Structure 1
Amino acid sequence: MANNMIKPIIWTIAGADCSGGAGIAADIKTGHSLHVEVCHLITANTVQNAAKLLSINPVDIALLAQQVEVLKNDKPPRVLKIGLLVSIEQLNWLKKLIGELKLENPSLIVVLDPVGTASVGGKLSALEPKDYHALLPFIDVITPNIDEAKALVDAPFAEVKTLASTLAERGQNTVVVKGGHSDNETVVDVAFDQRENRWYQLESPRINTRYTHGGGCSFAMALASYIAHGYLLRDAFTLTKAFINKGMHVNRGKLDYYGAFEQPLGELNAEYFPQIESLINDRYTELSAFPSIGSQQGDQALGLYPVVDSLAWLEKLLPLGLEIIQLRIKEKSSDVLNAIIAEAVNLSARYHTRLFINDHWQLAIKHGAYGVHLGQEDLLEADLAAIHNAGIRLGISTHGCYEFLLAQQLRPSYLAIGAIFPTKTKDMTGQIQGLDNLRQILAIAKHVPVVAIGGITLDNARAVLETGVDSIAVVTAITESACYSQAVTKFQQLLPPSTA
């Protein structure tokens, strides 16, 4: 197996559209714009244009098998993306191929974008929707539009969540139903991750354009590309939605010609990202913004943000001129926690340091802490209205763009993003952000201070700060240093001076 891959490799198995908008053409353009290497296996050559479909000409399975043989050792795929299949013979061959590839590489992800009809009208495949049922157990992610989902489930009047959950029961780990084919002014895309039993719903205003040919193929390929880059499903889904929105935006208002979807290049700015629909956001639609704590761009810099787990560490660090600190205590009895937090609030008040209490929001309110910090898993259980009414600040942990957008809609006092680098304090497998993702997060931040956390040391802190993040949170870089006070001083020297 090749070991010198710089870009992740995706194999796309799909049809060739001679008009250049859909199928293999869309997959290659999308993959290249998202920095993946694309190998393509063509299942059929179609004869079509912007007005009509004339013919579908299948490619012999023997030729497809030869292409697989020369590619699988030279350029093995990280993701296999499947589009048009034109016969039951191709479907059966593909089932066998996926089984073989997954034996060689159990981490291979298979994305299926089921294609039945051409956007200009006409049937592209001899397969019936029910024929796909035998393939579903071999698929990791399936991305039908709402009409395709109805056909696959044979439920023409079912709601989108019913379609997604029914498809998931038939073998997929994840179902993404694309909403672009609806007539609504808001485009709603829904994903159901069966492995985690979690729903994701993204909404964006409809962008009126007829440059949409191949948009569905591009959506599936963008999702496959982000997955190939290591993004979790929720973030790959969110980034894909932003990618499609930006591509549609390029030709917005152009309604007199049916043209190919234009794959965008460059940064995905905040305007292209969707609204996150979730139970937590629905619960607090009327809640106003939480009180501000300032930022480097405002009158009050956040400064260095240590996170410690004891009163002893508070007593050591508070005299060092910190503007902000967090107390994170786990696995203590309620009486012990009550006493610790009461004393912590008193200590921080003596030094005029803004103290955030991790998790224990009731005790933070009771003892008048400056703020509360919550993880994503705590948002549904905590009473955000009670925290808000107490007049204390709220910080929220996020891990990727989906969680960041969800939390940002709550208008907290600050958002933390991590882990930037691998960290000793918790297992962040699959959620290491790196500096590029941090920059992407900062591009979608709207009027909220952002704190970077996770694996930040004196060696890499300057690079983190150069992204423009408002603050850095550190744990072991202080608590495990040879001299904690020197470590604090060195970190503080890297940060802009406070004007508090």
Structure 2
Amino acid sequence: MTINSSFLASKLTKKPIIWSISGADCSGGAGIAADIKTGHSLKVEVCHLITANTVQNSKRVSSINPIDVKILAEQAQALRIDKPPAVIKIGLIANGKQINWLVALLLSLKAQLPDLLVVYDPVGQASVGDSLTTLSATNLVSLLPLIDVITPNVFEAKQLNAIHEKVSNYNALNMAENILLLGCSAVIIKGGHATAEISSIAKTYCTDICLQNLSSTPSETITKTQLFTLQSPKLDTNYSHGGGCSFASALASFLAHGYLLRDAFTLTKAFINQGLSLRTEISNANINNKSEINRYYGAFEQGMWPLKPADFPVIVSPLYRRFQSSPCFKSLNLADVEKLGLYPVIDSLTWLERLLPLNLNIIQLRIKNNDLDVVEPLIAKAVAMARDYNCRLFINDHWQLAIKYGAYGVHIGQEDLNCADLSAIAKAGLRLGISTHGCYEFLLAKQLQPSYLAIGAIFPTKTKNMTGQIQGLTNLTQILALADTIPVVAIGGISQQRLEQVWSTGVNAIAVVTAITEAKHPIIAAQAMQAQLI
């Protein structure tokens, strides 16, 4: 039997491809070794170009032996024809010639591949403290504008800011702002090397920050940025060698899978926490026994795709700080195995009148009109109507009116959380539902302990432009693992034909809009979908 290889290739689901341009560590922990192990753990294909062979062990770095740029150029040419990258991860750059070659390569590849992303881990020194490179911000001036995300630790961030490594009164955010001014699109400063000299928190917690440039030119960086801050307990282990390399290659892997930077950052932090926690018992045993082996460091242990809530960081945000001491939101009063089922999202009293007799568990009224003279009487009547049918009616956005008329609950979009008085909503006894788009927003909203969390868009939708935020079923399933006991609603592009595959993920409810409002027979469609979810 003859098999058509081109047909087979068209049917294969290809893994994303990343290139690692990094050094080789003969002790097996850092550089290329870490990148390959990490990439394979996270289901990407890793092509590697070795910039230098290093001679090092757990005591010292003996030598760094750069690879000729002619060889690197030949390798890159072979790969770009056969395996063009979605993301390039850069590690050790051994000399100025390699910088010049990298700049030319990236300019050429970015012209060929407009969506190409570049992650740079500016390796300054080995885990044992010896210097790996003397490169400074001055040396890197031509390279940094081609970098999408740079991932220095505290010492490397100081180098890029020309701050002496022994200076303790630095500000991570200020350093990140200065690094952005060098031209890169985003900077992540890893907090694992921070000490108690900076703050009491640094003694027991590792705080990583990601500052993203949202402006079109570097000169506007300070006024147009977005800050993401993640925090986790510090994990003491001897097995952390290559952790920084693994961080950058994990970030590259998640970006290659199509995640937004904030979600890739969050997943990377969880991946690193997972790996460090796999070997903490070794370190504790060595400390307790005062063993000589405590001086030895081992290779960071790559786990699998992070799914355990315990591995994920806390999202540090002003919103969470403001709400920490406020009352809890009421629950949906569901029995242990009870589910809400179909969750219609409608925009008028006419639709509400048609759907309430179907005895649905939950409905959302989403009126996109800011004229209170128009909206207020509609909400007042809707609340009264839903009460007659004992239906959980959530009012979208208009939380003041929802409080005024005693609605069952209010649904607020992620972008509107900072404008809403969450304490007032909780004190009024209303339930709260929050929209989320990816694991970062999901974890942030989860910390507020709402009555339910909505995740979307699961599929492309007609009602809203969700470019870059389509979750898909795989990501939905992964996020569900983080929910604990909070009910999760799936929303976005869910038709009657897709209903069962979404329901099979284990969500508590499925929100639909056009599957009802654009159906030929809306009531029959709603009844059929509700029957599918019983």
Out of 316, 319, 329, the residue aligned to residue 280 of structure 1 is: 319
Q: Is the 8 A contact 2:274 2:306 kept in 1?
A: no
Change (3 A) 1:303 1:162: same
Out of 268, 292, 295, the residue aligned to residue 240 of structure 1 is: 268
Structure 1 spans left out of the alignment, 5+ residues:
none
Note if 1:394 corresponds to 2:422.
no
AA aligned to 1:169 is L
The CA RMSD measured in Å over matched residues stands at: 1.4
Q: Is the 8 A contact 2:327 2:423 kept in 1?
A: no
Q: What whole-Å deviation, never above 9, does each CA across 1:344-389 have from its counterpart, x for those lacking one?
A: 1111112111110000000111111110000011111000011111
Correspondence list, 1:177-326, <5 A:
177-183=189-195, 184-195=203-214, 197-255=225-283, 256=294, 257-295=296-334, 297-298=336-337, 300-326=338-364
**SS in structure 2 at match of 1:291:** coil
Change (3 A) 1:204 1:75: same
Change (3 A) 1:5 1:458: closer
Q: Distance in 2 between matches of 1:135 and 1:294?
A: 56
Q: Distance in 2 between matches of 1:296 and 1:189?
A: 39
Correspondence list, 1:320-469, <5 A:
320-469=358-507
Moved more, 255-264 or 55-64: 255-264
Q: What whole-Å deviation, never above 9, does each CA across 1:87-121 have from its counterpart, x for those lacking one?
A: 01111111111101011111110110001111112
**SS in structure 1 at match of 2:65:** strand
Structure 2 spans left out of the alignment, 5+ residues:
1-8, 196-202, 215-223, 284-293
Q: Distance in 1 between matches of 2:504 and 2:335?
A: 13
Q: Is the 8 A contact 1:296 1:470 kept in 2?
A: no
Q: Is the 8 A contact 2:210 2:229 kept in 1?
A: yes
Change (3 A) 1:5 1:437: closer
Q: Is the 8 A contact 1:243 1:268 kept in 2?
A: no
Q: Distance in 2 between matches of 1:339 and 1:21?
A: 66
Q: Is the 8 A contact 1:375 1:396 kept in 2?
A: yes
**SS in structure 2 at match of 1:341:** helix
Q: Is the 8 A contact 2:456 2:469 kept in 1?
A: yes
Structure-1 residue corresponding to 2:114: 106
Q: Distance in 1 between matches of 2:502 and 2:335?
A: 14
AA aligned to 1:355 is L
Moved more, 101-110 or 129-138: 129-138
Cα distance, 1:295 vs structure 2: 4.1
Moved more, 100-109 or 190-199: 190-199
AA aligned to 2:132 is L
Cα distance, 1:126 vs structure 2: 4.2
Note if 1:150 corresponds to 2:150.
no
**SS in structure 1 at match of 2:72:** helix
Moved more, 258-267 or 244-253: 258-267
Q: Distance in 2 between matches of 1:262 and 1:64?
A: 29
Correspondence list, 1:45-56, <5 A:
45-56=53-64
Q: Distance in 2 between matches of 1:341 and 1:179?
A: 48
Cα distance, 1:219 vs structure 2: 0.3
Moved more, 3-12 or 44-53: 3-12
Q: Is the 8 A contact 2:119 2:151 kept in 1?
A: yes
Q: Distance in 1 between matches of 2:302 and 2:278?
A: 9
Structure-2 residue corresponding to 1:66: 74
Q: Distance in 1 between matches of 2:327 and 2:282?
A: 38
Correspondence list, 1:99-138, <5 A:
99-138=107-146
Q: Distance in 2 between matches of 1:301 and 1:446?
A: 15
Q: Distance in 1 between matches of 2:313 and 2:412?
A: 23
Q: What whole-Å deviation, never above 9, does each CA across 1:393-426 have from its counterpart, x for those lacking one?
A: 1000000110000001001110000111111110
Structure-2 residue corresponding to 1:169: 181
Structure-1 residue corresponding to 2:83: 75
Moved more, 219-228 or 2-11: 2-11
Moved more, 196-205 or 271-280: 196-205
Structure-2 residue corresponding to 1:481: 519
Q: Distance in 2 between matches of 1:5 and 1:143?
A: 30
Moved more, 53-62 or 262-271: 262-271
Q: Distance in 1 between matches of 2:177 and 2:129?
A: 28
**SS in structure 2 at match of 1:131:** coil
Q: Is the 8 A contact 2:42 2:305 kept in 1?
A: no
Q: Distance in 2 between matches of 1:222 and 1:36?
A: 10
Q: Distance in 2 between matches of 1:283 and 1:173?
A: 30
**SS in structure 2 at match of 1:72:** helix
Structure-2 residue corresponding to 1:27: 35
Cα distance, 1:253 vs structure 2: 2.9
AA aligned to 1:173 is S
Q: Is the 8 A contact 2:327 2:427 kept in 1?
A: no
Cα distance, 1:133 vs structure 2: 2.9
- What is the TM-score when the length of structure 1 is the normalising length? 0.96
Cα distance, 1:211 vs structure 2: 0.1
Cα distance, 1:22 vs structure 2: 0.1
Change (3 A) 1:378 1:52: same
Q: Is the 8 A contact 2:154 2:194 kept in 1?
A: yes
Out of 69, 81, 96, the residue aligned to residue 88 of structure 1 is: 96
Q: Distance in 1 between matches of 2:34 and 2:490?
A: 36
Change (3 A) 1:5 1:113: farther
